[in-house]
């Protein structure tokens, strides 16, 4: 269902751009499938499907570590000591690797806008003499730019999956949900 929705959105996008019969190639289909799987399908959805189809019992699906106290950890530590290494590793350090706790600060849209506005205030003061009001781009222009950027990033070697995911989210926002009821009421 998710793939079909994205496919229809891309067809509508093509019609809005003036392409009467937008052709889809294998790469486009793969990108639509990737978008559908990475952005729309959640782990609990897959777990529910497995449970519904009875592929796994609910007893096997609990992935939580029930051994919080550390009996297994202690057993593993004892086994390592029995091996007789001079510099035996600490099990806790291995299981709770310090780099796993490193987190990045995720900024909200407002924080990003504020930081950009703060940087650009100096530039705006210099440009006040020559400034003219710029018209915001149309939705079609934004879609064309997103498609061009997507094609560029797909061919660029250093593009990470996170960047492509963010671009897909941006394209989703540009496309937006089409409210057919509202359009028919307006007409």
**Residue range 169-187: mean pLDDT, rounded:** 61
pLDDT at residue 64 is higher than 50: no
Residues 32-61: tens digit of each pLDDT: 788 877 777 777 888 888 888 877 665 554
Beta-carbon neighbour count of residue 81 at 10 Å? 10
pLDDT band at 184 (very low <50, low <70, confident <90, very high): very low
- Residue among 15, 8, 19, 17 at smallest CA distance from 143: 17
pLDDT, residue 107, reads: 74
* Residue-level pLDDT at 121: 64
How many Å apart are CA 66 and CA 63, to the nearest integer?
Answer: 9
- Measure the CA–CA gap between 54 and 162, rounded to whole angstroms: 33
Give the pair of three-digit tokens for residue 110.
């407002």
- What pLDDT score does 99 carry? 64
25-48 burial string, b = 16+ CB within 10 Å, else e?
eeeeeebbeebbeeeeeeeeeeee
185, pLDDT greater than 50: no
Residues 95-143: tens digit of each pLDDT: 776 666 665 667 788 887 887 787 666 555 555 555 567 788 888 888 8
**Distance (Å, rounded) from C-alpha 154 to C-alpha 163?**
10
Selected residue with higher pLDDT from 9 and 177: 9
Taking the complete model, does pTM exceed 0.85, yes or no?
Answer: no
Q: Which of 165, 138, 143 is nearest to 153 (CA)?
A: 165
**Kind and range of the H or E run holding 54:** none
* Residue 148 or 175, more confident: 148
- pLDDT (0 to 100) of residue 1: 55
Q: Of all helices (H) and strands (E), which one includes residue 113?
A: helix 109-127
Position 178 scores a pLDDT of 47
Residue 150: which residues within 8 A CB-CB, separation 6 or more?
A: 31, 164, 167, 171
């Amino acid at each position: 269902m998710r793939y079909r929705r994205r496919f229809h959105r891309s067809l509508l996008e093509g019609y809005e751009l003036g392409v009467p019969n937008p052709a889809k190639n294998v790469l486009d289909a793969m990108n639509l499938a990737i978008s559908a799987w990475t952005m729309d399908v959640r782990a609990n959805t897959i777990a529910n499907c497995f449970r519904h189809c009875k592929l796994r019992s609910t007893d096997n699906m609990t992935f939580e570590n029930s051994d919080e106290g550390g009996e297994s950890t202690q057993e593993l530590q004892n086994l390592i000591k029995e091996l007789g290494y001079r510099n035996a590793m600490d099990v806790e350090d291995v299981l709770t690797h310090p780099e796993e706790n490193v987190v990045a600060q995720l900024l909200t849209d407002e924080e990003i806008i504020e930081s950009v506005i703060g940087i650009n205030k100096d530039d705006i003061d210099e440009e006040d003499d020559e400034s003219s009001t710029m018209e915001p781009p149309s939705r079609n222009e934004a879609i064309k730019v997103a498609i061009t950027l997507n094609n560029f990033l797909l061919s660029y070697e250093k593009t990470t999956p996170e960047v492509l995911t963010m671009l897909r989210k941006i394209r989703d926002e540009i496309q937006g949900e089409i409210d057919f009821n509202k359009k028919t009421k307006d007409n």
